[in-house]
Structure formats: structure tokens, C-alpha cells
Amino acid sequence: MLEISRLEDRALYREVVGDVLLKLYQYNQESYGRLEDRILSEDKPEQGGYAIYLAMTDREHYDATDEFMYPMAEEDVRKTEVSYQEVREALAEKRKLRLYTVFLEASASHVYRMLQEDREFHGMIRTRNREYRGTFLVQRNEKYLDMVKELYYIFAANHQPWVTVCEAYLAKLLDVYLCSAESLPEKDDIEEIRVDFEEYSEWVRTEMIPLWNLRKIHEKTSTYPEPSIDKTNYEHQIFSHRLNADCEYLVMNTDVEITNIRRVKGDLLITCPVDRPCDWSLYQVNQRKDGFRYPYPVLSNGYKESFSGSITEMYRRSIKTKAEMARLIESFPYDGYVRFRGMEIGEALPKDWEGSNYNMDGFIQDEIRIGHSRQVLTLFFAPVDRENYLNEDIMSFLVTQVQKLFPEYLCVGSMKRE
């Protein structure tokens, strides 16, 4: 501007350029202001907003008014009966027939031993007219474990970090199959099928229902989707009055390429390439509520509501010392089951490790691992109550957390007696 010799031209230049730059500056400031307001208006989930809780109850004491925990499978609330015709057809075709699911209230080692034995149990089929002897087989129930596996991919599609679900109860659910029986008449009615589980009988529980804090709901886009600024995706809005303000939500439609999910003033905004209203399947993640009691303890993958738990969740940093390892383990609410006592790096696996350890993230196949020959990182724990059948399962959950941080080691747990 100073190179313009005529003052009139210089003044005109200052006026024109200054006016243009001022409006550009104002436009940028307003745009940044709108962007800042949009970001700050998003509702951020609190600590543990996506924590998964699990519990068990018997069918007789299931409370349908419970607003915290729901059956993992809705059909579990209804007692299923095996028909006489199904039994006869299975026996004629010489195939196994699944009868029902039992809960083995025993340690992980006992469950492992029972499944490894792969033995047949004896029992009887009682009809209106007489009793018939039969043989039965027990296998691990995979239905609920598969639901956790599906949940892992739902978390990934929703851009949420995965925290291992404590599967302690689910790993103890076993399916009972009828293998063979005496010849049955053509017409009769089954009144009872009883299996003698021999030394395992004291731990077998029937009519049990696994519960978790996820409720499946279905909603449709509340209004016509608005184009996003990238001119490729569309923003689907579900109005807040159709949702629970105290809950987080996971979109179950993993077949849709979701690029963003956020909450703004209670509304759920889903960004995806679909340009028309959609039917959405959602998991409503209920938050822990006081006042409800369950026959079995509620297990969670959430961090403790403490400073240590908050720091662990926020930073998820690497572990370099024994004290940091202890802080990670203590950030979970399981100090009433086992206490961390130390660790050791070596070449040999501890005795009987396989029965008392299992990886609760074993279904994850896309993790990066360093080779197949790894040193063993053994974590030592001491039980608080030696008779608690969940000790080894809680230990497995904590070891699984450590395994994710140390892919270069094979992490196992060992229970020390104090």
C-alpha cells in the first residue's frame, strides 16, 4: 500500500481491501464460534458411561420391573419344554438333542475339568407311565459368549474403546444334551428329565437367567436426514424425548458405515451415507442404580469411581513398573475377591495354569502379537476368601486386561495362598 504514491488511491485501496479483509475475518470468527459451540454442546459420557454389568438370577425371582438389568436373551424368561416327539426323533436319528442350560456354581478349574473329561452322565426320562434310562453330555453354552463377541464389533462400529467384559458367569453356563435312551413308546408325555451329575451335582443350578445392563430398542430417524458438510454423509437425528437422558446408546446396525455418533442436548445424531430415514436398532446402556438386589453379585468391566480409576480410563498409558501394574489392577472393583501380590517374567508356565486361566478376549483375532514364542509374564494374586468360586474368573479378567498391554508376553495368573 505504501508503494501507491497518490494519497487518494492509497485511501481508496485501504478502504476496499480493509473492508474485504474485515468481513473475511468476521466470517472466520463466526464460523469458528459456531464450530466451538457445536463441539461444546455435545454430551460427553461420564466415567463408565459404557460399562457393561452382568449378574445371574433364577427364573422364579426375575423382576420384570427392573430398569437396570435385563435378560441377555429375552426368551429366557419363558420356560422351554422339550416335547416328547422331539426326543423320539432325536433318538431315532441318533443325534444329540439339547435339553436345557445349567449354571455350574463352581471355580473355573472345576468347569474346565468337567468339560475336558467329555464324559457321559446317566439319568432318566420319566413319563406318565414309566421311567427310561438315558445318557447325557454337557458342553459349554456359546450363545451368550457370542453375544459378547458381537458386542465387541458394535463398540468398534460406534467408535468406542473396548474394555473386556467380565464373562465370569457366562463361562459357567453349560448346555445339557440327551445322547441316548431306552426305546420310547410312540405316544406318551414327558413329565421330567433328571440327570445325575455325580460329584458336580452340588454345584449345578437350573432355571438360571444371565442378566446385563443392555436393553435392545428400535427407533426410526425422527426427521429427514440433513446432508453433512462433506456432501457425502447424512445426519440422522433421533429426538431426545424418545431416549433416556441418563443412558448412553450403541447403534447395533453394523452393516451401515457409521462415521460419527454424538449426543446434542439429548438428541442422538448418527452420521452415515444413507440419505433416507432408517430403522435403527440400539442398545440402551443403563447406568448402575441403587435399590435393586440380585441373588448373585453384579460384575462389571467399569473402573472404580475414584481418582485412580479416572486416571486409568483417561490416559490408558503403558505400564513400566510394578506399582503402575498394581494401580491398573486396583482400578477395577475386585479387591474383595483377589489382591495383586507381584509378577515374574520367565520361560515356564505355572502349574495347572490352563484350568484356572482363560482369556476373556480370546475371540479377538486382529490384535498385533509379536511372534509365537514369547516369554511368560506371571501375575501372582492372593484370594480374599479362598472358598469364593469366582476367584479364578476375576483373576482371568484382570490378567486379560494386562495381556492387552503386553502383547510381547504370554500373561497368566497364579493364585498364591497366604
Range of 28-37, 101-110, 261-270, 294-303 with top mean pLDDT: 101-110
Kindly tell me if the per-residue pLDDT of 293 is higher than 70: yes
What was the pLDDT predicted at 170? Answer: 97
The CA-atom distances, in angstroms, between 403 and each of 178, 186, 299, 376, 407 are 38, 56, 20, 11, 6
Kindly tell me if the per-residue pLDDT of 203 is higher than 90: yes
What was the pLDDT predicted at 84? Answer: 87
Residues 207 and 219 in one domain: no
| pLDDT more than 70, % of the chain | 90
Residues 200 and 228 in one domain: no
Kindly tell me if the per-residue pLDDT of 1 is higher than 70: no
Residues 94 and 193 in one domain: yes
Residues in Cβ contact with 343 at an 8 Å cutoff, skipping those fewer than 6 apart:
322, 325, 377, 378, 379, 380
| pLDDT digits 0-9 by tens, 112-143 | 999 999 899 999 999 888 899 999 999 999 99
- How would DSSP label each residue in 77-126? GSPP---HHHHHHHHHTT--EEEEEEEE-S-HHHHHHHHHH---EEEEEE
Hey, how many other C-beta atoms are within 10 angstroms of the C-beta on 415?
A: 21
Radius of gyration of the chain (CA): 29
What was the pLDDT predicted at 318? Answer: 63
Kindly tell me if the per-residue pLDDT of 372 is higher than 80: no
Hey, how many other C-beta atoms are within 10 angstroms of the C-beta on 380?
A: 17
Kindly tell me if the per-residue pLDDT of 417 is higher than 70: no
Single residue among 211, 244, 261 that ends a domain in this structure: 211
Kindly tell me if the per-residue pLDDT of 315 is higher than 50: no
Residues 87 and 201 in one domain: yes
What was the pLDDT predicted at 314? Answer: 45
Range of 23-32, 77-86, 170-179 with top mean pLDDT: 170-179
Residues 245 and 206 in one domain: no
What was the pLDDT predicted at 371? Answer: 52
Range of 50-64, 305-319, 342-356 with top mean pLDDT: 50-64
Residues 349 and 273 in one domain: no
What was the pLDDT predicted at 348? Answer: 85
What distance in Å separates the CA atoms of residue 117 and residue 199, rounded to the nearest whole number? 13
Residues 327 and 277 in one domain: no
Residue 91 lies in a domain: yes
The enclosing H or E element of 24 equals helix 7-40
Residues 224 and 178 in one domain: no
Kindly tell me if the per-residue pLDDT of 295 is higher than 50: yes
Residues 82 and 204 in one domain: yes
Residue 304 lies in a domain: no
| pLDDT digits 0-9 by tens, 207-216 | 999 999 999 9
Residues 193 and 263 in one domain: no
Which residue, among 145, 134, 211, 199, has the nearest Cα to 172 in the 3D structure?
Answer: 145
Residue 14 lies in a domain: no
| pLDDT digits 0-9 by tens, 381-415 | 999 999 999 999 999 999 999 998 888 889 999 98
Decide: helix, strand or coil at residue 290: coil
Residues 175 and 251 in one domain: no
Single residue among 189, 211, 233 that ends a domain in this structure: 211
Cell numbers of 337, please?
Answer: 475377591
Residues in Cβ contact with 179 at an 8 Å cutoff, skipping those fewer than 6 apart:
96, 120, 134, 135, 136, 137
Residue of 350 and 167 predicted with greater confidence: 167
Residue 16 lies in a domain: no
What was the pLDDT predicted at 338? Answer: 95
Domain span at residue 178 reads 75-148+170-211
Kindly tell me if the per-residue pLDDT of 310 is higher than 60: no
Tally of domains in the chain: 3
Residues 95 and 139 in one domain: yes
